[in-house]
């Protein structure tokens, strides 16, 4: 083949590649949101469908306790994606087709769950197992194409964490720990697990999921079983007493979290509860006691039998100790991993997902100061400072990495 013919052939193949790329890009168009045009029917009469299609997580529908509650969705256009945001998730459920065929088994863990579907016009979300309750904050229906990035497609919680972050309530993790979580998960590529003492309520649980997804996390968090109750006395001991079983129960649960996720490092609240919140104090205190308990199989033997005893190597508390000994970070530098935002800006973007907390805050000198990352995580309770409370791998020297000394210790033969 002559050089001229080679050039023509090369141009021809380049044209084919470009045409293929154009077709590929065309096929990657965002999926149409079919929700508004779909006919949705709820099993309970007298209820309003708009409560679960209004884009407002504060409104919801709930079936009440009935036998195998259901929701049906009909669409003139084929449905390829279904996104469910549960207000009340049954223990088991199915996504069924028009004739009752099972299109997907319901995920038993995720309260926000996405399902790919084969292009169907009728769907039935059916709780199984008999008499139960099912409810939704939101339901979204999508056509063919790329599902929007805001639709949450969670991965399972990690089985072995590098860093376990424990937060008292949804939004605390963003105000006080958000920069550290984002830096560990996105910049340092650590295996990160977030655990909440309490979900507060179903709306705030959804806001926690929205916030963590916006922050960039993809491993599903764990929500503790406790109520969000503020001790009127403002004292930590009374927070413990508001929980059935008292301090031993909370210590049991935190010890179980250590054993379940097997973290190298644990990071949690200030011992003073940042602005003095007794549940923040209670969680920090419980993390300190669990440090001593989790490595001893004779303590809380049920979780030791289930997960094995586990000794956390390093425990960090927000703002603990003198500033010179604290591990400190700069959350004001834009990072590619954060989409060009700073860690503080990303944390605030995630905090904005907590719509029920808008204009909420604490009074200082008689004036209400609304919650924000800038006000609470930068000015008042610096979210970039963590003190090493306990360590099995020696003291920090560099004070710039929560994982300092961990890899050297593991390389020296410590059990992972």
Q: What is the DSSP string of 242-294?
A: TSTTHHHHHHHHHHHHHHHH--SEEEE--TT-TTT-HHHHHHHHHHHHHHHHT
Confidence (pLDDT) at 20: 52
In contact, 266 and 166? CB cutoff 8 Å: yes
2 pLDDT band, cuts 50/70/90, is very low
Q: Is the pLDDT of residue 53 over 50?
A: yes
- Percent of the chain residues past pLDDT 70, beyond the cut: 91
Q: Is the pLDDT of residue 266 over 90?
A: yes
State the fold for domain 39-142.
Jelly Rolls (2.60.120)
Structure tokens at 265: 């490092």
Give the lowest-confidence range in 46-50, 100-104, 263-267, 298-302.
Answer: 46-50
State the fold for domain 163-411.
Rossmann fold (3.40.50)
Per-residue pLDDT, averaged over 225-231, amounts to 93
The mean of the pLDDT values for the chain is 92
In contact, 188 and 155? CB cutoff 8 Å: no
Give the lowest-confidence range in 157-161, 251-255, 318-322, 409-413.
Answer: 409-413
Confidence (pLDDT) at 407: 83
Q: Is the pLDDT of residue 118 over 60?
A: yes
Per-residue pLDDT, averaged over 341-349, amounts to 98
Confidence (pLDDT) at 6: 42
Structure tokens at 273: 């509860």
Q: Is the pLDDT of residue 17 over 90?
A: no
411 pLDDT band, cuts 50/70/90, is low
Sequence ranges of the domains in the chain: 39-142, 163-411
First to last CA, the chain: 61
In contact, 203 and 58? CB cutoff 8 Å: yes
């Amino acid at each position: 083949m002559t050089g001229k013919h080679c050039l023509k052939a090369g141009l021809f193949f380049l044209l084919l590649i470009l045409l293929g790329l154009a077709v590929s890009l065309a096929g990657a168009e965002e999926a149409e949101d079919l929700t508004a045009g779909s006919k949705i029917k709820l099993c309970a009469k007298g209820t309003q469908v708009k409560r679960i299609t209004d884009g407002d997580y504060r409104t919801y529908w709930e079936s009440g306790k009935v036998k195998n509650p259901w929701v049906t969705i009909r669409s003139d256009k084929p449905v390829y994606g279904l996104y469910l945001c549960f207000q009340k998730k049954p223990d088991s459920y199915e996504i069924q087709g028009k004739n009752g065929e099972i299109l997907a088994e319901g995920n038993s863990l995720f309260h926000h769950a996405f399902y790919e579907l084969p292009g169907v016009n009728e769907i039935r979300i059916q709780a199984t197992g008999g008499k139960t309750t099912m409810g939704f904050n939101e339901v979204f229906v999508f056509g063919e194409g790329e599902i929007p990035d805001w639709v949450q497609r969670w991965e399972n919680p990690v089985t072995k964490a590098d860093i376990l972050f424990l937060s008292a309530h949804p939004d605390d993790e963003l105000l006080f720990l958000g920069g550290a979580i984002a830096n560990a998960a996105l910049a340092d590529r650590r295996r990160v697990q977030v655990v909440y003492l309490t979900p507060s309520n179903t709306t705030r649980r959804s806001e926690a999921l929205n916030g963590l997804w916006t922050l960039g996390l993809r491993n599903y968090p764990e929500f503790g079983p406790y109520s969000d109750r503020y001790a009127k006395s403002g004292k930590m001991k009374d927070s413990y007493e508001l929980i059935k079983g008292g301090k031993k129960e909370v210590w049991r649960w935190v010890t179980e979290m250590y054993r379940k996720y097997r973290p190298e490092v644990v990071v949690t609240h200030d011992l003073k509860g940042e602005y003095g919140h007794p549940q923040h104090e209670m969680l920090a205190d419980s993390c300190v006691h669990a440090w001593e308990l989790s490595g001893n199989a004779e303590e809380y033997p049920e979780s030791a039998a289930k997960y094995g005893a586990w000794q956390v190597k390093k425990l960090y508390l927000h703002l603990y100790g003198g500033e010179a000994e604290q591990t400190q970070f700069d959350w004001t530098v834009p990072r590619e991993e954060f989409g060009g935002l700073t860690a503080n800006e990303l944390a605030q973007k995630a905090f904005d997902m907590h719509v029920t907390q808008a204009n909420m805050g604490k009074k200082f000198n008689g004036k209400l100061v609304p919650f924000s990352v800038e006000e609470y995580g930068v000015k008042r309770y610096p979210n970039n400072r963590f003190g090493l409370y306990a360590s099995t791998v020696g003291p920090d020297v560099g004070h710039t990495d929560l994982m300092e000394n961990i890899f050297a210790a593991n390389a020296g033969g410590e059990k992972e």
